[in-house]
Amino acid sequence: MSILKSAAFAAAALAMSVSYSFADTFKLAVTDVEGLERLQVEWGPFKEALESATDHSFEFFPVTSRTAAAEALRAKRVDFVVTGPAEYIVINKLTEATPLVGLGRPDYFCAIVVRADSGITKPADLKGKKVAFGDIGSTSNMLCPMQLMADYGVDPVKDVENLHTSRNIAHEALKKGDVAGMGINHNSWLGVRNKDETVPNGFFRVIARSGDLPNDMLMVASHVDKSLSEDVREAILDNKDAIITAIISHEENDKYGGMDLVAIEDGAYDLVRSMYTTAGFPQYDKFIGE
């Protein structure tokens, strides 16, 4: 190859590299937000902060379900997805997408709650009784409390009559005595309990708490170049104060108040894989409830 041709080839390769590294446009989805309008309102500031930090352009890709997000990743129609731990386990199994940056949530753990006057003092006392869990497939409202019960020797599938409902309805059912216990995201339930003026202090008792759960995340599709995704992660972490401010600027993201952004790896989510197994879904290849 002549010197001129070699130089031209090198210049073309450099140009391709530069064009791929800067000012690319990527598709961005959020699994628990439906509709483009909601995405723009609730996550628009995050998108703008992400663009400013990375020098790339991002376009929202609305999805109607967790399954739709997985299908879009597999079809290479979306590149980055904001999602939770339980969703990640299935999406990773179906698409080989990986965690990029963790959205650390303070006080992100689950608990088993009972009425203080029930005589129930430990998870084993719930055997044979009705227990309300939160939304089907939720990390902190279903999988975590089921694992927590199993950690205390109670099979959440066979030893109790498990029901699934929203945290508000579960709270009311426990208050009325329609269920003996409730497995729930502790922090979000406190928001419900603290607004309920009909119950006195000390009406409920927490009989078990989990450790802190793995983070929500920004995950990256397997088709995105690894060096590029690493550059995106580094840019996010280098500018995390501005990005955090953008995320929590909308009230729908109040759960992220006090958050941090951290580098994460797949192994941190083995705990959630164990939760799937405990709940009776050891294959991780389908979303519970869909």
Q: What is the pLDDT of residues 82-119, one digit of tens each?
A: 999 999 999 999 999 999 999 999 999 999 999 999 99
DSSP state of 133: E
Q: Are 53 and 249 in contact (CB under 8 A)?
A: no
Q: Are 91 and 29 in contact (CB under 8 A)?
A: no
**pLDDT, average across residues 264-289:** 92
pLDDT digit string (tens) for 138-178? 999 999 999 999 999 999 999 999 999 999 999 999 999 99
Q: Which fold has domain 110-209?
A: D-Maltodextrin-Binding Protein; domain 2 (3.40.190)
CATH 3.40.190.10 in the chain, residue ranges: 21-105+214-278, 110-209
Q: What is the pLDDT of residue 290?
A: 74
Q: What is the pTM of this model?
A: 0.85
Q: CA-based angle 185:191:192, to the nearest 5?
A: 90
pLDDT digit string (tens) for 10-55? 444 444 443 344 447 999 999 989 999 999 999 999 999 999 999 9
Estimate the crossing angle of helix 240-247 against helix 226-238, to 10 degrees: 80
**C-alpha pair distances (Å), 183 with each of 1, 35, 290:** 69, 30, 21
Q: Give CATH for domain 21-105+214-278.
A: 3.40.190.10
Taking 80 as the threshold, does the pLDDT of residue 213 lie above it? yes
**C-alpha pair distances (Å), 157 with each of 127, 133, 199:** 11, 12, 30
Q: Determine the Cα–Cα distance for residues 254 and 278; give it in Å rounded to an integer.
A: 30
Estimate the crossing angle of helix 186-195 against helix 167-176, to 10 degrees: 60
Q: Are strands 80-83 and 25-30 parallel, antiparallel or unpaired?
A: parallel
Q: In what order do the strands lie in the sheet with 216-220?
A: 57-60, 25-30, 80-83, 216-220, 98-104, 260-263
